[in-house]
Amino acid sequence: MAKGNEKKHRKSVSYAKWAYIFITPFFISYILFTLIPQFLTVYNSFFENYRNGLEQVGPNFVGLGNYIKLLTPDSSGTIDFLRYLGNSLAMWIAGAVPQFLIALLLAVLFTSSRLNLKGQGIAKTIIYMPNLIMASAFSMLVFSLFSNVGPVNKFLIDAGILKEYYNFFATKISVRTIIACMNFIMWFGNTTIVLMAGIMGIDQSLFESANLDGANSLHVFFDITLPLLMPILSYALITSMIGGIQMFDVPQVISNGKGTPNMTSTTVIMMLNNYLGISKNYGMSGALSVMLFIITGILGMLVYRSLARQYKD
Amino acid sequence: MKKLLSILLVLLMVLSLSACGQKEEPAAPAEEGEGKVFHIYAWNEEFKGFFEKYYKVPEGIEVVWTIVPNEGTQYQDALDLALMNQESAAADEKVDMFLAEADYILKYTNSDYTQDIKALGVTNFANTYPYTVEAASDASGVVKGVSFQCCPAGMIYRRSIAEDVLGTSDPDEVQAAVADWAKFDEVAAKCAEKGYLMTSSYAEDYRVFSNNTSSPWVDADNNLQIDPAIQTWMDQAEAYVKNGYTLTSGVWDAETTEQAAKDGKAFCFFGPAWYYNFCMGPAFGADAVAAGTDSVGDWGLCDGPQAFFWGGTWLLAATGSDNPTMLADVMDKFINDEEVCTNLIKNEAQFTNNQAVNNKFAEDPEFGNPYLGGQNDTAVFAEGAKNIKFQNQTIYDQGCNESLQTYFVEYLQGNVTKEEALNNFYKALHEKYPAIKVPEA
């Protein structure tokens, strides 16, 4: 009797304790490297704090001064912060639409028990490959491919399609298309794999019974796969959107940090980078980051709400 | 196989050891009580090459280089961080010496992060060009560093095109034909008639104008101002692009430099000794020579429409250096040591900061640059160097010069209006330098 009691007692104490111990490192590093810096960012956004040459200006408390500066329109009525945010979103959407459509299609094809495609392993590896290359290295590669003296122009001229080189990096539409395509190539494999995991999590018997009831593939896709995939799809969409808002390395390298033409490839993080560059303007970059945090939160909520409602129906 | 490999390795080790043993003159021992690591910050390998070849590092001292590219102020960012941590850094990690360019040297000389080199023992400036000392001095005249090169610049023109367009390739006669900007325009028109380009970049002669401004980029109240000389450059660039006298690619873009190759169409380039000796790869590079697409010998050098200088590398003494003796010695050697300076001219095609050595080569009828068909470029520069003034500089020059070219070219390419281009320039400056007051932003 006494022995059994002791055993029970020991069991319940030790396992719970270990669980907490195992998750402690995460919380410590999260607090140190994420939570505290986040609070500091908010704190810094209320101060004028930058360097002029080697001379430090501030920190002087300016209240909401940095936010007001960030949201004050210039003489022509544009607010640069919103304009650059618009650039980020436009380039993200241009890449994300094909990214999700193709990823969805591939995920369905790869998981279809009816097709049972061969060589899936290799195909999945290949489509994931572009994600393994460093974004900046990939950008350099694309930049040299499309440069005025690069192979693309050489080919177009040799084939007689163009008379003289076309400057791909001087027109808005071509720069944005190149950036969107790069984002698409880098991320569609990743999305495919996430969506496949989602589809494989759906109960197979649902598909079987649908087939028995004579539903065609379209019906199965729209009435079974898509609704049941919604939680994963909205997760993938929201993380992709956050990535899109934080777009930086591809446009930075492609435009050599200048956001040309006419600032149409300047993303909001490139603006942040300019603030943080030579003058270490912690005040303005803090304000920008806080604004971005709020906007990302709102957009994320909107996407989640609209998708989640569909899921409930 | 393994055995063979190990034997090979042993052999290699022995060989390298014996190679060490053959050193002719042993270097001087390191100064007692000073650091064992000499730390240098630089933005490219140029000076590193000269230093390794021509400077004998005292025994027991290890030289560590930190090299960060210059563009977009990356180098300054890294350097600033290191200098600000200088006090708390371990002795062996302290920056001892760093390199700076004319565009931003003021930022460092006017700060406490650099120290008086006269106090360190560098006192002989008799042979240096006065502007190089002026540039390395703070507002009260304390000298903080030296330059190992002097960068008077000129117009590098293509002899074959000059022959075709002007009927002569003689430097004096070409100089007479481009003696001022009005004449330069006339030559540009003639070049265009014959199917040549005057220059191959809208910004090729930017430095000639920006170096001859009458006011600094930023006035005493931190207001940005566009000097009349810069205004003239903008007008010229606009006209030249419109008339097809030049291209809309940047100075360093491949389209521009390719125009210096064998079948290139550009009449002239602008720059100092380092420009044509190191930056005109398609004209003189080893790859081009090997492929037979080079244009070695087809070039001449003259002063051009206006005297100017471009760049130059200064060696500045970092405050808190733990190797003051070696620091002073390096600086002294690169301006006063005849052997070092002679090597720089003879082997490295530099124009040094030692007037006596430069003049010796300038007067030598045997001396000439093969790239320029044997013309004695040192003689041209020795004359030009006398007219250089270091004036109207600000700590923002690199940002201003780079950004203006970047955003103005969009107007030349027809993508934006002139007003939009200037606005983009103002905005970029304002984001980077909050202290500058720009128009309407």
Q: Which residues of A touch B254 (CB under 8 A)?
A: 147-149
Of A196, A92, A277, which Cα lies nearest the Cα of B72? A277
Task: Provide the whole-model pTM.
Answer: 0.80
Contacts of B94 (CB under 8 A, 6+ apart): B35, B39, B86, B318, B320, B321, B322
- Domain borders along chain B are 35-150+311-362, 161-308+394-432
Do B35-150+311-362 and B161-308+394-432 come out as alike in CATH topology? yes
Closest Cα in chain A to B80:
A54
What per-residue confidence (pLDDT) applies to B41? 92
- Three-class SS state of B14: helix
Enumerate residue ranges in chain B where pLDDT < 50.
Answer: 1, 14-26, 441
Structure tokens given for A166: 């076309």
Structure tokens given for A284: 């303005």
Contact B410 A260 (CB under 8 A): yes
In whole angstroms, what is the distance from residue B17 CA to residue B318 CA? 35
In whole angstroms, what is the distance from residue A113 CA to residue A116 CA? 5
Helix runs in A129-248, H state only: 135-146, 151-158, 172-200, 204-212, 217-220, 226-245
- Structural domains in chain A plus CATH codes: 1-31 (no CATH), 48-312 (1.10.3720.10)
What per-residue confidence (pLDDT) applies to A12? 55
- Rounded to two decimals, the ipTM of the complex is 0.80
Structure tokens given for A245: 């808002």
Closest Cα in chain A to B72:
A257
Element containing residue B269 per DSSP (H, E): strand B268-272
In whole angstroms, what is the distance from residue B233 CA to residue B237 CA? 6
Q: How far is A97 from chain B (nearest CA, A)?
A: 28
User: Which long-range contacts link B216-220 to residues 24+ away (Cβ below 8 Å)?
Assistant: B216/B392, B216/B393, B216/B394, B217/B392, B217/B394, B217/B396, B217/B397, B217/B400, B218/B394, B218/B396, B218/B436
Contact A52 B434 (CB under 8 A): yes
Q: How far is A276 from chain B (nearest CA, A)?
A: 8
What are A112-151's pLDDT values in tens digits?
A: 877 777 888 888 889 898 888 888 899 999 999 998 888 9
CA A35 to chain centre: 21
Q: Which residues of B touch A165 (CB under 8 A)?
A: 255
Interface of A with B in 168-187 (CB under 8 A): 170-171
Enumerate residue ranges in chain A where pLDDT < 50.
Answer: 1-2, 4
Residue written as token pair 């379209």: A218
In whole angstroms, what is the distance from residue B436 CA to residue B218 CA? 7
Optimal mutation site among A80, A262, A281, interface B, most CBs of chain B within 10 A: A262
Closest Cα in chain B to A276:
B432
User: Which long-range contacts link A102-109 to residues 24+ away (Cβ below 8 Å)?
Assistant: A102/A184, A102/A188, A102/A192, A103/A188, A103/A189, A103/A191, A103/A192, A103/A195, A104/A195, A104/A233, A106/A188, A106/A192, A107/A192, A107/A195, A107/A196, A107/A198, A107/A199, A108/A199, A108/A221, A108/A225
Closest Cα in chain B to A173:
B415
Q: Taking each helix axis from N to C terminus, what angle separates A172-200 and A80-111, rounded to the nearest 10 degrees? A: 40
- What residues form DSSP beta bridges with B63? B38
What per-residue confidence (pLDDT) applies to A2? 47
What per-residue confidence (pLDDT) applies to B4? 53
**Does residue B29 have a cis peptide bond before it, meaning omega lies within 30 degrees of 0?**
no
Q: What are phi and psi of B66, to 5 degrees?
A: -120, 115
CATH code of the region B35-150+311-362:
3.40.190.10
Q: Which residues of B touch A57 (CB under 8 A)?
A: 434-435
What per-residue confidence (pLDDT) applies to B17? 44
Contact A278 B77 (CB under 8 A): yes
CA B183 to chain centre: 28
What per-residue confidence (pLDDT) applies to B31? 64
In whole angstroms, what is the distance from residue B322 CA to residue B177 CA? 54
What are B232-268's pLDDT values in tens digits?
A: 999 999 999 999 899 888 888 888 888 888 888 899 9
To the nearest 5 percent, what fractions of chain A are helix, strand and coil?
75, 5, 25
Optimal mutation site among A83, A265, A278, interface B, most CBs of chain B within 10 A: A278
Contact B73 A278 (CB under 8 A): yes
Are B203 and B251 in contact by the 8 Å Cβ rule? The answer is yes
What per-residue confidence (pLDDT) applies to B8? 54
Q: How far is B88 from chain A (nearest CA, A)?
A: 17
In whole angstroms, what is the distance from residue A167 CA to residue B223 CA? 35
The CATH H-level superfamily of B161-308+394-432 is Periplasmic binding protein-like II (3.40.190.10)
Q: How far is B2 from chain A (nearest CA, A)?
A: 35
Q: Which residues of A touch B411 (CB under 8 A)?
A: none
